[in-house]
Chain A
Amino acid sequence: MTRYQVRHRTSYAYDAPVTGSYGLAWVMPRRTPGQEVTEAAVTVVPEPEDLGVSSDYYGNEVRYFHVTVPHTELVVDADSVVEVEAAEPPRAMLDRSWETCRPLGSAEPGAWLAADFALESPLVEHPDSAREYAAVSLSPGRSIGEAVAELVHRVHADFAYRPGVTSVTSTVDEVFAARAGVCQDFTHLLLSCLRSHGLAARYVSGYLATTPPPGRERLVGADASHAWAAVWLGDDDWLAVDPTNDTRVDDRYVTVAWGRDYGDVPPVKGTVFTTASSSELTVYVDVQAV
């Protein structure tokens, strides 16, 4: 078991006053079988007139806030202490052939819920490029564990990590064309590969604890939000994999929320009333083992 103290600060600076700001934030780690949240606090500055906590469609904790004090800077701070245990899916589930893990038309328990993650979603289309790319790894009868591991490995090898070539609205086709992107692009790409063959896979947002290079001190605040994917194996078993780092998800990963794609669980989204023409976004994340 590893314990982390997580600090996640999102701030917006505007070039003119904002008279009203409505926001939603998915910034609080969720409880899962392998993850316990022992401390949790979200603060918004300026103080919101209204702050609501609820559970979204996928069971993630979402904060709704409405700030009415005119402001030129808005800060959403999330602090938590999380205990994570590396949870491996049962061996037997990983050995199933991948074709049997498809939820559409299946009467297995949990299949009807998983079906939601086997369909196209707003940011994850199913272009032929993805379907063909994935077919190489999804050969008939192959075990799901092996097929997914190879696919993750190939995505890591074939696509360059390069910030700035994509945006939050980039499509799978664009990522294919660029052969590059950042973690959410690789995650969307992997989701498209798996879903276009009928598998159910969800987008997971969270954090990855970083280890400093040997001999260097860990830099506070150098961490960032992260994203990865989880594939349905049957029942309520999911295999979480990180295409950006070509690895299975273990106790270095803190899970915040999941959905069909980034659009279901962005850390913060909002609507503001302002004459400001531009805003500057700063994100600070620190994940410290304690």
Chain B
Amino acid sequence: MSGLRDYAAARRELPLALDPTASGYDEVVAEDGAPRDAWRRLLAGYEPDLVDLPRVNAEIERMLSDDGVVYAPPGQRQRRWRLDPVPLVIEAAEWADLEKGLAQRAELLNVIVSDLYTDRTILSRGLLPPEVVFAHRGFVRSLARPGQEDLAPVTLAAADLSRDETGEWLVTADRVQAPSGIGFAMENRRVLSRVLPRLHREAAVHRLTPFFQTLRSAILQAAPDGVESPHAVVLSPGPMSETVYDQASIAASMGFPLVEAADLTVSSGCLWLRSLDGLQRVDVVVRRVDAAWSDPLELRGDSRLGVPGLSEAVRRGNVRIVNSLGAGVAENPGLMPFLPSLCEELLGEPLRLSSARTYWGGAPGGRDVLIDRIDELRMTSLDGRGVPSSAEDLRHRIETEPWRWVGQESRRASSMPALEGDRLTPHTVRWRTFTMRHGASYRPMAGGLVTARSTVGEQQVSKDVWIVKQDPADPDQGLSELMSVTALRTPPTLPPRARGDMYWMGRYIVRIEDTLRLWLLCHTLALDFHHRPGSPGGAALAVLRTTLRGLVSIPDTASETDDLRAALSDADRPGSVSQSVEQLTLLAQSLRDQVSPDLFRVTGALARALGSSRERTSDTYRGEDAETMLTGALALNGVSENMVRDAAWRLHELGRSIERASQLTHLLEPTLGRRRGPEVDREVLDAVLQVSESAVTHRRRYRGYVRVANVVDLLVLDAGNPRSLRFCVERMQQHLTALPASSGSTRPERLVDDLLALLSDADLAYLVVIEGEYRPRLRELLLTVQSQLRSLSEAVENVHLASGPWQRPIELPLVIEP
């Protein structure tokens, strides 16, 4: 690899020990500056300089963008996921030890969680001070009831590892609440194996797919006893969550519907998915919502991310949660100092994989350690409340209630090269590992996800983890016999949340196309007539600019250049192309389990063109970006072409028809509703025909003779023109009628009937009658249709998309004594 030599040289000259976060151990370059064995073997027979890292990196970015891989740091806009081209490589011998340690750790945590929710012998026998558990927010009392027994509360565990200066991997955190990252790990591998095909093949690394398939079986096997073909769902906090990609990609590749709380309901003590065909029993929930937010009835009452009654359904054994609602108790840093003795007691063997050195304030002498090393230890409180910002406060709180505090030696991590700009710089390595329940034991993923942080710059980037096989013939993941994989159910059931998303996706796809067409026309006219405002073309430009401004809510005072820039690229402006693309991308994320992956290729291309248009200083070139976007927008039509013709598709098509009709009224009212003299009118009519993609039809039918009546006929009344209002309304009627919730007399159907009657009754000659400067009948018709469409959209939301009123907690009775 190009640059590795430079990295090694620089690494020798700049000892990393100077960086307080780095341990001094490098994953690629040994102390003597030569590549470590794993890398020496990997690069043997290879001309390293042939791999052009910046080029590989560009390819990675492109692929990730095409797949729509994003993550959203808390409180921030979604960002593109970043993957570095240089993987962390672990040799077979080292992995063999780690594998045993990770499996043992998951098994131990599982036994601990299981015990804490049944007999609590760990506490009654004095193996663990009770306050470590009782003070931890992950201990969910409502699930620790007599008679409750769950032998496998942990199906998937994650552990974060750092390597210290001696080369030993240490666990810095256990993640068992609702571990995230497997979807990212899978995607990282998919991309890296394609951009570095030869290196990947020759390295003989464990493929990840078998792990994923087995995990799918493990999730289904978590179903309550006696369920023959279990249904699983992935419960997500929603499209704004940090790891929405991870959640959606797991749902999509496992074939489980991605749902939000409102899609589920508890009834008769069982959990159900509200599907278009009625209630469907759910047996397993892959939970990505933290336990505290999962059941507003018994846990946090203010949560809208949870399903009331879920705990009751769990207690009755009618549904299983992966991981169990109580599993978060094992994320407790206060457990770490006790793991070695607990392992001896509970599993009868020594703990193989150590944790980073952690002190609990309640232990004998623990308080003094925390106070003495207050500046140097990383403090956390068991109850999850934040650490006070002032050292004084912290000291006071540790002194008064030491048992609430845990201090961990901040780990210095190993380093390795990652591409920063166009060269390799040292980055610290934190490796998230995943371990799943497999039959009655646990099996770690030979792979994982690395978060790498630059020690010289600001960069944070992910890395793939390559575990090299002992023998290239070894089975991937050591899973020689894949557990039976239940046939994928496709397409997964459409939850109510996704119904709304489908509908809005249709609307945004059309909105992007139609806004772009109008924009491009304005742009072209502006190039031609910008300096001739008095000409007929200049006047037409003014009319269309007003139309565009109306659509994108731009104030009249803005300049022409600002108008165009904002309508295209301003993400904060409602109706702008940029905002529609952003909304579409968000919808696509949460529909990942429902739509073709091609969609991400298109949204990725749209986002790239938008990004480029924002950087343009010249208006001329911005037009090229818009052309690129229009091509993308047209490709979006292909996405719906390939959809199965089910209710979801109908909702999508309904959204498209409503949006197209709405766009038409917004285009026609300001343009055709007014008379401006024959020359200007001709320019405006031409423009309207172009924007509505009907110029060719018009030419064929009317031999190029442009008259208002013809244009109105073609775009409003003509049932044969797919771009006419009448056509759109007829389509709405077709799709509405076919939806399961339609009865022939629902409000949306009535509204569409009215609309159709309005258009059938309209008389062309009457519509184009002129009074003064205006065509009042035409304007009235268009404005009526416009407001009817708004009512229709609301009615569709209520009848077909809504999942009932919101839940809220009821007032608690105050206790007042006599």
Contacts and interface: CB of A to CB of B under 8 A. Distances in A.
A56 B142 contact: yes
> What bracket does the count of chain B residues touching chain A fall in?
35 or more
Given A115-B130, A273-B807, A64 B142 contact: no
Interface stretch (B98-106, B296-304, B667-675): B296-304
A107 B125 CA distance: 10
Contacts of A24: 297-298
Interface stretch (B266-274, B280-288, B467-475, B714-722): B266-274
B66 interface: no
Given A22-B297, A24-B298, A184-B815, A271 B810 contact: yes
A57 B116 CA distance: 12
B817 A269 contact: no
Contacts of B816: 163, 182-183, 224-225
Interface string B787-818: 00000000000000000111111111111111
Interface in B135-190: 135, 141-142, 144-147
B134 A208 contact: no
A227 B815 contact: yes
Given A104-B362, A168-B812, A271 B308 contact: yes
A268 B813 contact: yes
A281 interface: yes
B807 A272 contact: yes
A52 B147 CA distance: 15
Contacts of A222: 818
B316 interface: yes
Given A269-B810, A271-B809, A104 B818 contact: no
Interface in A240-277: 244-245, 262, 264, 266-275
A57 B144 contact: yes
Given A271-B301, A272-B810, A50 B269 contact: yes
A261 B149 CA distance: 26
A66 B123 contact: no
Contact of B269 (A19, A52, A120): A52
B141 to A, nearest CB: 4
Interface in A171-228: 182-184, 196, 205, 208, 210, 222-227
Given A22-B308, A52-B312, A210-B818, A266 B268 contact: no
Interface string B307-334: 0110010011000000000000000000
Contacts of A7: none
A87 interface: no
Interface string B388-408: 000000000000110110000
Given A126-B400, A226-B817, A268-B813, 10 more contacts: A23-B297, A57-B144, A115-B131, A116-B134, A184-B814, A272-B810, A274-B805, A274-B808, A279-B811, A283-B813
Interface of B: 123-124, 126, 129-131, 134-135, 141-142, 144-147, 265-269, 296-298, 301, 308-309, 312, 315-316, 362, 383, 400-401, 403-404, 804-818
Lowest 4 A-B CB distances belong to which pairs? A271-B308, A115-B130, A57-B141, A22-B308
26 contacts: A23-B297, A50-B267, A52-B312, A52-B316, A56-B142, A64-B309, A64-B312, A66-B266, A104-B362, A112-B124, A115-B134, A116-B134, A131-B400, A163-B814, A183-B817, A208-B817, A222-B818, A224-B817, A225-B813, A226-B815, A226-B817, A244-B817, A268-B812, A269-B810, A271-B810, A273-B805
